[in-house]
Amino acid sequence: MKNSKYKTQNLKLSIIVGPTGVGKSEVAYQLALRLKAEIISADAFQVYRGTEIGTAQPPKEWQKKIKHHLIGSRDPADNWNAVDFAKEAKKIIEERQTKKKKIIIVGGAGFYLKALVEGAPVGAAPLPEIRSMVAEKVKELGNEKAHAWLKERDPLAAKRLHPNDTQRICRALEKSFSTRQNKREVKPLDVKKVQFFGLERSRENLDKLLMDRSKAMWENGLLDETQKLAKGGIQKGHPLWGAIGYAEAAAYSNGEMTQPEALERIFRRTRQYAKRQWTWFKHQHDVQWINLDDFSDILQVVDLLEKKIAN
């Protein structure tokens, strides 16, 4: 049988996960080259145009060689949440499978992947970036204006909540940025028909990579990108302003932080986020873990993944 080596690709969809900065995008890219596959990004912010640096989108040259879905395909003003992701990703998967095209999903947004594979549970916790953004915005606005903000996003929730009930107002606002906007059910993928591969490194080695990444983001134009987004009319309440990197760059621009302070905060928040991702994937899914520290070359990792996918 032609291409029998990959016959199980039609049965099991490969999903590459792991903490931010570990090397998921490069491994997925090299694997896609090997398998002649396309990639779907499972990320909360990479979907937005104009966020190449702050969201660490795959390089343009990679995207020219391998089709990357849900990368820079939406205007930052558009709503994007776990349900939207699950709906769009499932549509892409079905279309590509009809054309017998292999798909690899890669990303660190655990809640988004859970929505795709198992369905989005009602009342699930929002992304840390959204919770942080809402908390900071509500503190800035004060009770009355925060209640008015909720009234704009969810009139029914605002009607039942007192303006001084700050905690519940925050929770309602968080939900307004997650699944409230799209209540249509999306039939999840069969968990038995997907396989998770997790990439990890020692904490020490990952910390070094994250520090280098934080510096590289700043040197490669994070500040300019942040200013362009602000000039583009992205509202202060948008989740992007709670995303790691943009919040610090904006604070630096406003004179609230020095450059060293901004860089240190970017690194610290990225490190904390990586730990949360690690914890999520260790407990939420049946993941086959691969320690990248055990390999001298990324192509050795691709060799191993290729064998695992074929079996």
Same domain assignment for residues 163 and 248? no
Q: What would the mean pLDDT of 233-248 be, rounded to a whole number?
A: 82
Is-contact 96 69, C-beta < 8 A?
Answer: no
Full domain range(s) for residue 216: 4-123+182-310
My answer on whether 8 and 90 are in the same domain is: yes
- CATH code at position 72: 3.40.50.300
The residue from 143, 176, 209 where one domain ends is 176
Residue 73 or 80, more confident: 73
Going by pLDDT thresholds of 50, 70 and 90, the confidence category of residue 157 is: confident
Phi-psi region of 233 (alpha: psi -120 to 50; beta: other; left: phi over 0): left
Catalogue the long-range contacts made by 2-6 (C-beta closer than 8 Å, 24 or more residues apart).
5/310, 6/35, 6/102, 6/309, 6/310
In a shared domain, residues 159 and 191: no
Arithmetic mean of pLDDT, 143-165: 87
CA distances (Å), origin 229, targets 44, 66, 75, 108, 157: 17, 27, 11, 23, 30
Instruction: Please determine, for residue 81, whether its predicted confidence score (pLDDT) is greater than 50.
Output: yes
Cα(249)–Cα(258) distance, integer angstroms: 10
Asked if residue 80 has pLDDT above 70, the reply is yes
Determine which of 118-127, 145-154, 225-234 has the lowest per-residue pLDDT on average: 118-127
Q: Are residues 49 and 157 in the same domain?
A: no
| Pair of tokens at residue 61 | 């040259």
User: Is the predicted pLDDT of residue 175 greater than 50, yes or no?
Assistant: yes
Number of structural domains the chain divides into: 2
What pLDDT score does 9 carry? 41
Are 14 and 43 contained in the same domain?
A: yes
Same domain flag for 111 and 88: yes
Answer yes or no: are the C-beta atoms of 105 and 16 closer than 8 Å: yes
On the CB side of 272, how many CA atoms lie within 13 Å of its CA?
A: 11
CA distances (Å), 215 to each of 170, 180, 258, 264, 299, in order? 33, 36, 14, 9, 26
Distance CA 14, CA 300 (A): 18
The pTM for the full model equals 0.79
3-state SS class at 104: strand
| The pLDDT value given to residue 305 | 96
In terms of domains, do 115 and 132 share one? no
Give the pLDDT of residue 240.
83
Whether residue 21 is found in the same domain as residue 158: no
Whether 55 and 43 have beta carbons less than 8 Å apart is answered as yes
pLDDT on residue 64: 97
My answer on whether 119 and 223 are in the same domain is yes
pLDDT higher for 230 or 291? 291
Average pLDDT over residues 152-171: 86
Same domain, 69 and 191: yes
The mean pLDDT value of the chain amounts to 87
Residue 214 Rama label (left phi>0; alpha psi -120 to 50; beta): alpha
Tell whether 133 and 200 lie within a shared domain: no
- Both 139 and 245 in a single domain? no
Residue 137's pLDDT is 76
pLDDT bracket for residue 245 (50, 70, 90): very high
DSSP secondary-structure letter at 23? Answer: S
CATH, residue 147: 1.10.20.140
Q: State residue 129's pLDDT score.
A: 63
